[in-house]
Amino acid sequence: MTLFEEGLKMHLKMIFSIFTLLIALGPLGCATTSEQKPFTKHPEVNWEKCVQQIPTGPDSPTNPYPRIQDFPWMSRNEWCTRVLRILNDPVRADAKLGFMGDSITQMWPKDLGAEKFSDYKPIWMGIGGDRTQTLLWRMENGELKGLSLETLVLLIGTNNLSAGDSPEEVTKGVNLTIDQIRKYQPQTRIILMAIFPREQSPADPLRIKVRQTNQLLSASAKSWKVDFLDIGPGLVEKDGTISKKIMGDFVHLTPTGYVIWADAVTTALRKQSRG
């Protein structure tokens, strides 16, 4: 076999491999695995609609906006998979407690959630990297429809701040989020979490923005008549620094940090039940 023939053979093999991969991925590079076939319950959003969504308006904290970009830690396709997984979670029919937010909510330890909140049959509605605008899009596309929640725990905004949004802009986004929760779940009591402290030093610019935002959110919670729960003091050391025992990367909670959050929510739920 000549060098030309060997090269042509390798080239044809490469084309065949790419063609096979494209068939496996389906339209727009979306894997057509059995994991995705059950995603049919909610006509508001399906796989094709999610990945083909063309946003309207600005990518701002108050405008519903889907994930349209790939990140090294989560592709747009994976984001759509997580959206649909929440929409098709079998616990939806019985859930009395919901947790809604970003990766900090997504990463709740399952065993801890089951231990602390089994009586409430909780549903976890957290997706890594989400901001108020993506949360608004998720609600607009059916995330809260069909639920009958007694309480919803909302934690959102840290990714807005790290993306450059101001405390005032983030507060407007959270306010609109609460408004939409009331629209879709008017019977639900809302526990609005203060944004967790982040970055190791209390003098870090992002930590300062978190404090400024929480001051605004506290005032908003009063006007909305929702419970405002700030566990920040329990997540930091006496000097204001964050320990890796609580946040390994100074953003996301460790199992120890989740216990602090779980205990605080448990106490808040008891208070709600009494009055």
The verdict on whether 42 is a catalytic residue reads: no
The verdict on whether 252 is a catalytic residue reads: yes
Residue tagged active-site, from 60, 103, 220, 243: 103
The verdict on whether 111 is a catalytic residue reads: no
End-to-end CA distance of the chain: 85
State phi, psi for 236 to the nearest 5 degrees: -120, 160
Asked whether the beta carbons of 213 and 197 are under 8 A apart, the reply is: no
HEC readout, the chain = CCHHHHHHHHHHHHHHHHHHHHHHHCHHHCCCCCCCCCCCCCCCCCHHHHHHCCCCCCCCCCCCCCCCCCECCECHHHHHHHHHHHHCCHHHHCCCEEEEECHHHHCCCHHHHHHHHHHHCCEEEECCCCCHHHHHHHHHCCCCCCCCCCEEEEECCHHHHHCCCCHHHHHHHHHHHHHHHHHHCCCCEEEEECCCCCCCCCCCHHHHHHHHHHHHHHHHHHHHCCEEECCHHHHCCCCCCCCCCCECCCCCECHHHHHHHHHHHHHHHHHHHHC
Residue tagged active-site, from 70, 94, 249, 263: 249
What residues are labeled active site? 103, 249, 252
